Amino acid sequence: MKRRILKTYFFILYILLFSLATSVFFIKTSYAETVNAGLVTGIWYSKYPFYSDDLVSIYSAIQNRSDIALSAKVGFYINNTLIGSTNIEIAKNSISVATLQWKATLGSKVMYTKIIELKTPDGTSVSTQSINTETAPSSVQIVLDPEIVRAEAERKLAEEKKAIALNATNKTLDTESTLNRLATTKDIAPILQNTENSIYSTIKKIGDIADTGSKKLAKFLIDQKKPDTVIKPNTKQTDKSSKFSFLSSSPFLANAYTSIYNRFIDLSATALIFWKLVLLLIILVLIIFKTKSWAKRGGGEGGY
């Protein structure tokens, strides 16, 4: 008796489970057959035109003409690259809008949206083979904002004008500083001129003296190199040459003495010219250093 009751109980349970499974299957099949949804053709933007670095919202609408509510995951693509996705709920017989915020970048863009996933209220995935899952592509050329470009150009122009004005101011200050220095050193100009004249006069006198000495020395050397100055035997000599009368006995010694004497005279003339040049160089160096010292003194007084 108990065994019969158990068999009856299991049979009834089996019938119930089979009925439940069959109903679920038919419900899912009816969902798949009765879903009438898809993306509305095209996308739109929160503003247009938009420019580089603008924050823009991209919109895409999904319509649901079915008798059941649906949930969808919508992907947003730019140049075939997924930049983000949005999950939305679409009530039955209604339209919902998916949106994504995006920061625009320079260049040519091709944008579109696509249904990545579509589900029924119980989480059952719905086949999207027979519905519109992708919007038509929208091409946009994004450039810099003309207002920003104009503002940047004005800023650069203002900076250039400021630099030119600053440069002109610096030149004016340099000119004023130079004039002030000239005004300060104007008082010592006569002193410098008088000193310069004195130095030139001294140099001229030294030059005249040196020229006179050189002329006398040259005349003396010429007289010394005359042939009649060579000591010869039995020749009447001057008082000066009489001191070397012992040379008259030997023509060789006389000629050697004359040669040595003439070489000594040449060296003396060369040394005189050399020291004359050295003297002039020393005077020139003193003039230069003295002039620089006066100039520095005048510049220092002008600085105060």
SS (H, E, C) the chain: CHHHHHHHHHHHHHHHHHHHHHHHHHHHHHHHHHCCEEECCCCEECCCCCCCCCEEEEEEEEEECCCCCEEEEEEEEECCEEEEEEEEEECCCEEEEEEEEEECCCEEEEEEEEEEEEECCCCCECCCCCCCCECCCEEEEECCCHHHHHHHHHHHHHHHHHHHHHHHHHHHHHHHHHHHHHHHHHHHHHHHHHHHHHHHHHHHHHHHHHHHHHHHHHHHHHHHCCHHHCCCCCCCCCHHHHCCHHHHHCHHHHHHHHHHHHHHHHHHHHHHHHHHHHHHHHHHHHHHHHHHHHHHHHHHHHHC
* Residue 57 β-bridge partners: 101
Handedness of CA 43, 49, 51, 53 (dihedral sign): negative
- Which pLDDT belongs to residue 229? 46
> What confidence score (pLDDT) does residue 231 get?
46
Q: Give tens-digit pLDDT for 79-103.
A: 999 999 999 999 999 999 999 999 9
CATH label, 33-144, candidates 3.40.50.1980, 2.60.40.10, 3.30.1240.10, 3.40.640.10:
2.60.40.10
Give the pLDDT of residue 14. 63
Return the domain boundaries, the chain: 33-144, 186-303
Neighbours of 133 (CB within 10 A): 20
Q: How far separated are the first and last CA of the chain, in Å rounded?
A: 133
pLDDT at 29: 41
CB distance 72 to 117 below 8 Å = yes
Identity (one letter) of the amino acid at 222?
A: I
Amino acid at 152: E
- Per-residue tokens: 177: 């500083």
Low-confidence ranges of the chain (pLDDT < 70): 1-34, 179, 181-196, 199-200, 203, 206-207, 210-211, 213-259, 261-269, 271-272, 294-304
Rounded to whole angstroms, what are the CA distances from 71 to 97, 168, 242? 12, 71, 147
